[in-house]
Amino acid sequence: MSEQQTAGALPVENKAVKRETSFRMPYRFEIDPTGRDSPWWVTLAAIILALIACGIFISLNGMNPIAVYGKMLKGAFGSTFGLTETLVKAIPLLLCGIGVSFAYRISVWNIGAEGQFLAGAMAATAITVYFPHLPMYVSIPVMLVASMAAGGVWGLLTAIPKTYFQVNELITSLMLNYVALLALNYAVFGPWKDPKGFNFPGSPMFTAAQSLPTWGTSRLHLGIIFAVAALLLYAFVIRYTRYGYELRLIGANAEAARNAGIRISKHVLIVMMISGALAGLAGMSEVSGVAHRLMYGISPGYGYTAIIVAWLAKLNPLSLVVSSVLFGGLIVGGYSVQTIGLPSSTSSMIQGAILFFLIAGGMAGKFRIRSNR
């Protein structure tokens, strides 16, 4: 038989081809856990959306949002007085923001800058209370060292439980803020209360030898030099030193840093001490350069606002300057709108809205659209 006849004699099995008819979406959403940094336009969009959202609430009170924002802008940046006041508010924000950024570099969430600020302010005031006759060239350096030491110790009170007992730093740093606030209230209502202060809760006024020098007739004081020096040191350490490289490595991949022989616990202790010391220096600058006394409500929330400053700047040194000046202007602008019938807390509302939209933008930046094909 031929090959064709043989092939034709064999039984041929016909199999039906099955085809899937189920519907599949062409794309899907996924969360990328490595997507840490959102693009710059997300930050800009967060600020714009915050202004729009707050503008709605302002308009509900019968005010023109554009006029209100113009009033704030003019009050903060429209005159020499407003500009210097903005810089005065930016000094503690920048110092606390740098301290918070140090901690965030290794993913340690320091929420306690407010308490560290108050600890530094109390330590500086203690020098004036117990050593009132020191000359300026002694009192200012001693106050500076005391404030940084107190803030650093306050930071270690968060770092030690985290390092050795795995206690969440969010809880301890936040709770220590209230401890510091109660300690300040005890001091200004109790042993440090000025007997000549007409029952005002505050320490005696600092002398000229205990006050930071100012520029001309403005309130802009020597603390701005401290802030600029801290910023330059932060930028240099992070970018050009081995220690900064290790911090960046820990923040990027803690497990890889541990396998490389880096002692993460040691870095947590050091970073929290540095973070607290910078916030404590901000407290000293405020009591010695602006208030010239320790008093109830010495901080309008600088430590908490510094968290937004660091988030907005994405821990970048130059961006920290911009964001601290921006939020300093918001605080000063909040005082300006009181003349048109709005409370100064308007600026706090805008700050909170910016943080809300920043967090939302950061989360949205982690979503990725993937193809199902």
How far is residue 333's CA from residue 347's CA, in Å, rounded to a whole number? 7
- Number of independent structural domains in the chain: 1
Side-chain-side CA neighbours of 325 within 13 Å: the count stands at: 14
Cα–Cα distance, 306 to 113 (Å, whole number): 8
140 belongs to a structural domain: yes
Question: Where does residue 231 rank: exposed (0-12), middle (13-18), buried (19+ CB within 10 A)?
Answer: buried
User: Which residues have a Cβ under 8 Å from the Cβ of 326 and sit 6 or more positions away?
Assistant: 312
| Structural domain contains residue 7 | no
What are the phi and psi torsion angles at 28 (to 5°)? -140, 155
Q: What is the pTM of this model?
A: 0.88
Residue 113 placed within a domain: yes
pLDDT in tens, the chain (373 residues): 444 454 444 454 554 444 544 556 666 656 555 545 667 788 888 899 999 999 999 999 899 999 999 999 999 999 999 999 999 999 999 999 999 999 999 999 999 999 999 999 999 999 999 999 999 999 999 999 999 999 999 999 999 999 999 999 999 999 999 999 999 999 999 999 999 888 899 999 999 999 999 998 999 999 999 999 999 999 999 999 999 999 999 998 999 999 999 999 999 999 999 999 999 999 999 999 999 999 999 999 999 999 999 989 999 999 999 999 999 999 999 999 998 888 888 999 999 999 899 888 877 766 666 666 6
Which residues 6+ apart lie within 8 Å of 180 measured at CB?
Answer: 114, 115, 116, 118, 119, 122, 154
Phi-psi region of 198 (alpha: psi -120 to 50; beta: other; left: phi over 0): left
Query: Which CATH number belongs to the domain containing residue 288 in this structure?
Result: 1.10.3470
- Cα–Cα distance between 326 and 347 in angstroms, integer? 11
Is 2 inside any structural domain? no
Q: Domain for residue 209, yes or no? A: yes
Among candidates 200, 157, 363, 370, which has minimal Cα distance to 291? 200
Judge whether 165 lies within some domain.
yes
Domain contains 133:
yes
Domain that holds residue 86: 32-367
In a domain, 14, yes or no: no
